[in-house]
A = this chain, B = another copy of it.
Amino acid sequence: MYIIGLGLGDERDITVRGLEAVKKCDKVYIEAYTSLLSFGISSNGLSTLEEFYGRPIILADREMVEERADDILLEARESSVAFLVVGDPFGATTHTDLVVRAKKLGLEVNVIHNASVMNAVGVCGLQLYRYGETVSLTFFTDTWRPDSFYEKIQQNRFLGLHTLCLLDIRVKEPTLESLCRRKKQYEAPRYMTILVAIEQLLEVQQRLGGSGTK
């Protein structure tokens, strides 16, 4: 089984090693819920990949990754399977769970690394050595407005460190209503903009009484 990072750009950002693996695998999945192809968020991006690789690709959405990962692993016992991940396999999120489960099944797991935002952010000119803990900003809801990310940014600032803020994406999230029913319905996809991130930061700062100016 291969877990292959695709990097951050388009189809040509896969490594030569990764491309060779994709071409020789029997089945190719792409993980599409913790991150998204930055080119062609829709199936167009997928077709571009399929054309470049010369292979059909199966979209593994949240449900498939969370609930049917074992099926993929069982397939990987009988045949060679490539599991594509935008960025680095362990970058934007941990696919550690999948690897641990694969190893328990006695599968050989080959990880092919690539760039992720965790290291490519160095391009902005700030030293990667001087980043503190990374934070995730999730969309506020009417009833859920967590502020733990704010304290972490404060902590990093206090130590003279930069903070990488990852902004929420919500794709194929079941609506609250639909969770009570038999048939799932999904919210429209949403991607947090920098503006929304800043608004949420300012809201928390105000709530905490402006102590963020320290």
Contact = CB atoms under 8 A, between A and B. Distances in A.
Contact of A15 (B7, B159, B161): B7
A7 B118 contact: no
B17 A16 contact: no
A137 to B, nearest CB: 13
A131 to B, nearest CB: 7
A122 B118 CA distance: 10
A118 B118 contact: yes
Most buried by B among A5, A14, A17, A155: A17
Nearest to A3: B123
Interface residues of A, number: 44
Contacts of A131: 133-134
A125 interface: yes
A9 interface: yes
A20 interface: yes
A150 interface: no
A128 B122 contact: no
A136 interface: yes
Interface string A1-20: 00001011101111111011
